[in-house]
Amino acid sequence: MTALKLLSRTKLYWGLIAIFLIGVLGSPVSSKGNNIFLSYGNLLDVLRQVSTTGLIATGMTAVIITGGIDLSVGSLMAICSVVCAMLLTVPGVTPGVVLGVPTVALVALCLGFIVTRFVFLNLEKSRAGADASRDARLDRARGLVTPAIVGVVLCCLSLWYLLPQVEPKFGVLGVLLVAPCVGLLFGALNGFIIVAGRLQPFIVTLAMMVTALGIARLTAGQNNAVLPVYTGSNATEDFELLRSMVFGVVPMPGLFFLGAILIYGAVLRFTPFGRYVYAIGGNEEAARLSGIAAGRVKIVTYAVSGLLAGIAAVLYVAQYRQGKPDAGAGLELDAIAAVVIGGTSLMGGRGSLTGTFCGVLIFGLLSNILQLHNINSNLQLVLKGMIIIGTVLVQERNAGDLLAYLRLPGTAHKETAAAKRPSQETRSLNLGGNKK
């Protein structure tokens, strides 16, 4: 491998290193002469701040690799934050309980049925052998009755755990179960409408973004623009755990983000599901003809995107001590920007969660550098936009084309040389004519 190819393949990491060095060299110093950017507290703050966007970007990556887009994640995070805050602070039957508890029961029922049937089907395929794996069929007991029983049992267990928490208010584990399930349900609904209705993901998720925002406002109530959460006062003191430091080393939100990157990254890299995701993004029709259940795979990616938005909502409530109907406004754009900066193609079929992780860190470090220098917030937006465009041009290898189009010095001669160079088709025709 030549040095140029190696540099091209690792350019994202060089970009992250460059941003980090800029932060180090240009950092202001404290009164004691210490580099503020390099301080352990500052770097931990960066990880804490990017965790919410990072979780959403993690789910967004798989969606974009399939060739889709999810504009609803910000609103899904908002509705989940409202549900989380209401469950924590308001006892009794509330709109949050009415929305959240039945959702958990439904998700438990469906997951129990689907997972059990999936296990039986794969066991049958293994028993039948590779030649008959595609035609494997299940009898009524294993294909319907047993999965239904497992689903009902899980549904009853979830209700048995959640219903006693309604009157005294929910605890940490309760909201960590309810909020992600709400996000998962809305995300799965996105995927189902896209697949069953054969609609563009942009339109469906845009509609869901508006719908979820309205549901969040209805759930919060007309007089509740903000639902405050004070641990030890109107909410359980254990909720403080979600904004604490793990062993004094890593902030809890950062641990959730790193865990999601590692787990989902391993799934995309080493499992058949991950291969199906890339195959669908490369050529969905070819993937479908090769036997891949493209519709199911896409529904799962949107469901996981909603699930991670729900987890991000709980962490948002823990960090900012509030739930808001507009908590995730604009967050979907930050997530998409981080994913694209990380090298994932909006056309689908190419990308990785390693790149997304670097993209999220680049975005977070850039924001931190601008804040340390007290750059005007409006100017920060302008600079971020310019950097996003420049990074994507480099990632897509279109920077040279842009320079040639602008006819900047050093590019005109390349364009002329390319125009003078005969094409492969022309050379083939000339050779054919000479043979005659």
pLDDT of residue 422: 52
Handedness of CA 73, 75, 77, 80 (dihedral sign): negative
pLDDT of residue 121: 84
Question: DSSP string covering 371-420, please?
Answer: HHTT--HHHHHHHHHHHHHHHHHHHTT-HHHHHHHHT-TTTHHHHHHHHH
Task: Tell me the residue ranges of DSSP E strands in 296-384.
Answer: 322-323
pLDDT of residue 427: 46
pLDDT of residue 407: 62
Alpha helix ranges (H) inside 129-251: 140, 146-162, 172-197, 201-220
pLDDT of residue 294: 92
- With contact defined as beta carbons under 8 Å apart, do 66 and 348 qualify? yes
- Model confidence at 134, pLDDT cuts 50, 70, 90, reads low
Q: How far is residue 93's CA from residue 225's CA, in Å, rounded to a whole number?
A: 20
Average the pLDDT over 3-25 and give the result: 77
DSSP 421: S
Closest by Cα among 349, 354, 387 to 369 = 387
Which amino acid type is present at position 210?
Answer: V
Question: DSSP string covering 248-304, please?
Answer: TTEEHHHHHHHHHHHHHHHHHHHSHHHHHHHHHHH-HHHHHHTT--HHHHHHHHHHH
φ and ψ of 327, to 5 deg: -60, -35
Q: How far is residue 359's CA from residue 304's CA, in Å, rounded to a whole number?
A: 20
Average the pLDDT over 53-76 and give the result: 94
H helices, E strands: number in the chain: 19, 4
- Model confidence at 432, pLDDT cuts 50, 70, 90, reads very low
DSSP 323: E
pLDDT of residue 415: 46
Question: DSSP string covering 138-149, please?
Answer: --HIIIIIHHHH
SS3 15: helix
pLDDT digits (tens, 9 = 90+) for 385-431: 887 777 767 666 555 565 566 665 554 444 444 444 554 444 444 44
Percentage of the chain lying above the pLDDT 90 cut: 47
Who has greater pLDDT, 415 or 202?
Answer: 202
Q: How far is residue 424's CA from residue 285's CA, in Å, rounded to a whole number?
A: 30
Average the pLDDT over 143-172 and give the result: 92
pLDDT of residue 330: 84
pLDDT of residue 390: 74
- With contact defined as beta carbons under 8 Å apart, do 321 and 305 qualify? no
Element (H, E) at 227: strand 227-228
pLDDT digits (tens, 9 = 90+) for 221-243: 877 678 889 887 888 888 888 98
